[in-house]
Amino acid sequence: MPAPSAITRDKDDVALRLLKGAAKKSYEPVVDIDWEAPLADDKFFLPPQMSSLYGTDLWEQMSPQQRIDLSRHELANYLSMGIWFENMLNQSLLRGMIYSSPTSNSTFYELTELGDEARHMLMFGKAIRRIGVEPFWPKGRHARLVNAMPFLFRGPMLWIAALVGEEIFDALQRRILEDGENVQPLVHRLMRIHVTEEARHIQFARDGIRRDVGRLPSRTRWTLSNLHGLGAALYLKNFTRRGLYQRVGLDGAEAQRQARANKHFHGMLTFGFASLAQFLEEARLMGPVARRMWKRNHFL
């Protein structure tokens, strides 16, 4: 086991490298996105193949405009979830900093990431407003759960939560970038900015896991290896919320049923989780309970 001083040096070296990357390539969404540019009437807000209903009987019955409207609300749903998560991540990072040196490179990088995430929340909020729909915002018990999560995200659990929250969205965003012709230019630009900056965040979280996992007690490691499976049910539930379909005039219950049974949609979920699943396997953090939960919810 490396000495604490060696671990600290390694952490600071990684942080310094990422700080240099942030200095070379960061964005200011307020000025780096043309928020006044008109939206194209015939372009989707997500590639149609990414819709939860793509290929279902309901999809075949929908008009072209209804499909575009569904993609508009599904994008707003993704962005709303992104705001929730980045809010939780920032709270957790800030709480953890009270135990860190304010002069270390790792603290400097975490502060840089906080700034990135704050700009991302602003960018997502402006995008939702620009496309002309209401955000999907947590209420009641759901809101209390979102507010409680930052208290659970500590140490290695924070890094795993960061990857569960970031890597699945990152893979889906890269899929959006592959379909430049059918997607609104505003969405394409937004995804390009987020993918570029999120790559640093993912690298920092992966490094944190690699660094910490070997020093964990076996019981703690078992818990971490299985607790992240809860993310699978949360993702599926929020990706296929009934209100999403009701907004475009569909029967919410029937649309939800078809989406959750949609093999094409299951393929998109598996695609989104593939890179993270491989990393968790390599880090020996894919426990049997988590594996069953990801598989039951169609991510494996």
Residue 225 and residue 284: Cα distance in Å, rounded? 8
- Name the residue ranges covered by the structural domains of the chain: 41-296
Residue 63 and residue 100: Cα distance in Å, rounded? 55
Closest CA to 176 of 189, 163, 165, 162: 189
CA dihedral sign of residues 229, 232, 234, 237: negative
Q: What share of the chain in percent tops pLDDT 70?
A: 97
pLDDT value at 1 more than 50: no
Out of 3.30.2080.10, 1.10.620.20, 3.40.50.720, 3.10.450.350, select the CATH number for domain 41-296.
1.10.620.20
What interhelical angle do 230-239 and 156-177 show, nearest 10? 40
Q: What is the mean pLDDT of residues 118-124?
A: 95
Mean pLDDT (the chain) is: 91
Q: What is the pTM of this model?
A: 0.91
Band of residue 7 on the pLDDT scale cut at 50, 70, 90: low
Q: 44: which strand partners?
A: 183
Extract the tokens encoding 87.
């809010």
Place of tokens 């020093």: 215
pLDDT value at 4 more than 60: no
CA atoms within 13 A on the CB side of 175: 21
